[in-house]
Amino acid sequence: MDPSKIYNPKTLSQLTKLSPKVDWDLLVTRLLPSTAPHQDVIIVSSPSYLEKLSAEVLAQSTQRTIQAYLLWRVINEYAPALSEEIRKPLQRLTAKLRGTNAKVTKPRWETCLDQVDLSLGFIAGRYFVMEKFRPETKARADEFVKAIKESFLNRLPELEWLDEATRKHAIEKVDALVRKVGYPTKSPNVMSPVALSDYYSELVIDGDDFFGNYLRGRQWLVMKDWRQAGKPTDKSTWEMTPATVNAYYNPPYNEIVFPAGILQSPFFSGEYPDYLNYGGIGAVVGHELSHSFDNNGRHFDAKGRLSEWWTKETLEAFEKKTSCFVDQYGNFTMEDESGDPIHVNGQLTLGENVADNGGIRQSYVAWKRHYDKNKDGKENMLLPGLENITPEQLFFINYGRIWCGKSTKAQAKQSILVDEHSPPKWRVIGALQNSKYFAEVFKCPAGSPMNPVDKCDLW
């Protein structure tokens, strides 16, 4: 994705002319809070989509068809929160698409927990943090982020394909990178009951009205976003709640964010030796940091502004190097329901593959630098029963472990078609095929599948 192509400011009149079958003025007026300043300019991410939606879909469809589609969207959104009788048909459809058994359903407690996290995730996150995320864990995780950031900075002078002007800006961007670990301390402050009370003051929760809570929670989330219209950006906000098992890089904020939920086993533990933690959460940290220089993140500068700060020569070298990843991952396949091979989309998954490869490299280098200085330290103690496996090997073994998973062939096919991530199997194999350190540690013969002669290399 090229972010510069999705930044298209349009006035409401221009938008109406582009897509006349939608009453944009009515839509914005209804959603915009009465206290918000009037908004006449909207950022349109895909003008061609809206143009074709109006001309080729809405203009050529009957009113009944459009109403049926909108009704289906409502059903699809609300059915999971209603009775089993209403959920069953949707479960059968989902099972058919994923190749699973329609009789196997998610336990009700998981559904309820999902809704609590969606609507009250920061309140629930407070209790999760108090139970599962000690202050010393946060401090240690912070050190991991700092070490991998340093590793990335040390790598930049080694890259011959970067010219000096671009390298200078790249260093500035890494230096300016904001890191958020564990939970937000503003907007809201998760550890402050007063701050949480104020944050959720306009959300009404009734202990005897699950579906009402479901509706009000979604309405509150939508209105919370619309209330930001016309206001300065609040860069202290988080896009994920503390208990979320995920992480992200946010280009306009130039920040990497790691909720307390992913700072748990198997990614991270205060009880793990460093080689396991660096092979787990360390690779994730490096992954998110590398996103700031992938085919998407590279368009943003140190302050998060859309800016073409790369020279033409460096950009040409970058595109040549990334084409290697497109070809490599495009040769990986999974089987569909019929047993036929379906190829990974190397272009769709490029950003994530670049981040995986950069992440594992930066994490290994960061860990090895510390390990070589203190091999006998308690933070790198050998695990009982695994004395015949070296810490270097366990680093990579844990990297493979964090992506362990299982899916049906139908689900694997669906993921390949729409997911910007490669299948977990190829996330591991692809990154390790390109790692010279993996080949050294496991003594893979040159030219073997896990040590190809022509490795893809970027960050």
- State the CB neighbour count (10 A cutoff) for residue 96: 11
Q: What is the pLDDT of residues 151-187, one digit of tens each?
A: 999 999 999 999 999 999 999 999 999 999 999 999 9
Check if the beta carbon of residue 152 is closer than 8 Å to that of residue 174: yes
Two structure tokens written together for 161 = 């394909």
CA distance 332 to 32: 47
Q: What is the pLDDT of residues 415-445, one digit of tens each?
A: 999 999 999 999 999 999 999 999 999 999 9
One of 288, 294, 301, 392 is an active-site residue; which one?
Answer: 288
- State the CB neighbour count (10 A cutoff) for residue 215: 12
Stated pTM of the model: 0.90
pLDDT at residue 273 greater than cutoff 90? yes
One of 117, 274, 356, 392 is an active-site residue; which one?
Answer: 356
Supply the pLDDT for residue 97: 79
Segment among 23-32, 215-224, 375-384 with least mean pLDDT: 375-384
Is 356 a catalytic site residue? yes
Spatial CB neighbours of 255, under 8 Å, sequence gap ≥ 6: 177, 178, 179, 180, 235, 249
Check if the beta carbon of residue 456 is closer than 8 Å to that of residue 328: yes
Q: Is 182 left (phi over 0), alpha (psi -120 to 50) or beta?
A: left
Three-state SS letters, the chain = CCHHHCCEEEEHHHHHHHCCCCCHHHHHHHHCCCCCCCCCEEEECCHHHHHHHHHHHHCCCCHHHHHHHHHHHHHHHHHHHCCHHHHHHHHHHHHHHHCCCCCCCCCHHHHHHHHHHHHHHHHHHHHHHHHHCCHHHHHHHHHHHHHHHHHHHHHHHHCCCCCHHHHHHHHHHHHHCEEEEECCECCCECCCHHHHHHHCCCCCCCCCCHHHHHHHHHHHHHHHHHCCCCCCCCCCCCCCCCCCCCCEEEHHHCEEEEEHHHCCCCCCCCCCCHHHHHHHHHHHHHHHHHHCCCCCHHHECCCCCECCCCCHHHHHHHHHHHHHHHHHHHCCEEECCCCCEEECCCCCCHHHHHHHHHHHHHHHHHHHHHHHHCCCCHHHCCCCCCCCCCHHHHHHHHHHHHCCCCCCHHHHHHHHHHCCCCCHHHHHHHHHHCCHHHHHHCCCCCCCCCCCCCCCCCC
Average pLDDT, the chain: 92
Q: What are phi and psi of 335, to 5 degrees?
A: -95, 140
Is 51 a catalytic site residue? no
pLDDT at residue 94 greater than cutoff 90? no
**If you average pLDDT over residues 324-334, what whole number do you get?**
96
Q: What are phi and psi of 198, to 5 degrees?
A: -70, -40
Q: Where are the domains of the chain?
A: 3-60, 134-183+238-441
pLDDT at residue 357 greater than cutoff 90? yes
pLDDT band at 270 (very low <50, low <70, confident <90, very high): confident
Architecture per CATH, domain 134-183+238-441, reads as 3-Layer(aba) Sandwich (3.40)
CA distance 218 to 215: 5
Supply the pLDDT for residue 141: 84
pLDDT band at 1 (very low <50, low <70, confident <90, very high): low
CA distance 134 to 5: 43
> What is the torsional sign of CA 234, 241, 36, 204?
negative
